[in-house]
Amino acid sequence: MLKLSRSLLLAALFLGAAALLSCNKPEPSVRPGTLSCQAPAFLSPGDKVALISPSYNTPHSNVEGAAQVLRAWGFEPVVGKNVDEVYLGKYAGTVAQRAEDIRWALEDPSIKAILCNRGGYGTIQLTDVLTPEELAAHPKWLIGFSDITTLHGMEARAGVMSLHATMSSLIVPHEGRDLSSTLLRDLLYGRIPEYTVPAHPQNRPGRASGTLVGGNLCTFSPILGTWADATAADGIILFIEEVGEDMSHIDRLFNVLILNGVLDRCRGIVLGEFTECGANLGFGSVEEMLCSYLKDYDIPVCCGFPAGHGDVNLPLVMGAPVTLDVSAQGATLSFGLPGEKVSVDTEAAEQAAAAERLRAEKPIPSSLELNGGKQGKLVRSIEFLKHYRPLIP
């Protein structure tokens, strides 16, 4: 009898401990089916834009410079109270402080958009702090890239579109006048880019429509299976970019996507910039390596889209319905959003950026001194950059 009672007691203790552990364990993320995201309201002159730092700290001079650019664009900048905080040497404050600034920017009804100052690392720490309900309750344009990819995933799962685009730390050096910045400005005012991308040897032809998700590979692959995972949705167009990773690491993360069924849910792939990613494994480029896997999928693939950590980072509307059309002549990427459409030739944009760099290094001769070819293209690119200045309403 004593032996039986002891056995019952041990069994009860075991079941109690198991129940306690199961209560503390977060529930697994539920796959969302097809994403349906709303576009936040576009901005008007005088609207407030919050400047926050959800990841690493950035010098206050960058924040001040970005505020000046926003004023020049016709907006009123407001700065989160914790952007100057430094925690553990790099973070812009503790997790609680960074979440506080995000909540402030979301909940203040006078703030219409949120510009992140820089990426780095740390937004993954916010996935158990912020909720989809509070993001859905305050739909606003959240802007950034790199580590901000986590927030884009969270916004998409909450049913809100966001902007994968340049940030304060990169707007300031160009004083907001480079094409990456002016296209962001125009998007906030409701002008929607329609991109034309030149042909690429690794492209795979086809046409597909779906919801644009993704971003920095090292950032969105660790959140697979969480509530912030936008790649869990069906019918997606997946955008991927990376910086400073060698091919073996990119190969490993891409296989994580394959093993989790992400590519089975893709209707198309857009490969962006792979900046400073070392070549190994016998491939000549990251695009060649990734397309060696993608040949097994009957979906269009666009390579070389200038977004990510390169000199040109053209804005993308994450969570938006997009159409990707890839042919032997090149590719187009268009957004199914209402608003004035702006045609953007990405090849001309990259040439313009190269010309701007060259002009910064040394004076450019007049077109009379050039004989066409690449030099002539540089001059035409400079003119493209100089005259692409849509007026602010």
Label the pairing between strands 321-327 and 266-275: unpaired
Contact 294, 301 (CB under 8 A): yes
Query: Burial, 135: exposed, middle or buried (Cβ in 10 Å; 0-12, 13-18, 19+)?
Result: buried
Note if 60 is an active site residue: no
Rounded to the nearest 10 degrees, the angle between the axes of helix 346-361 and helix 179-188 is 130
From 53, 55, 146, 221, active-site residue: 146
What strands, in cross-sheet order, belong to the sheet with 76-79? Answer: 76-79, 48-52, 111-116, 141-144, 162-164, 316-318
- Amino acid at position 386, single letter: K
From 162, 168, 241, 245, active-site residue: 241
Note if 387 is an active site residue: no
From 309, 334, 350, 381, active-site residue: 309
Note if 64 is an active site residue: no
Residues taking part in catalysis: 146, 241, 309
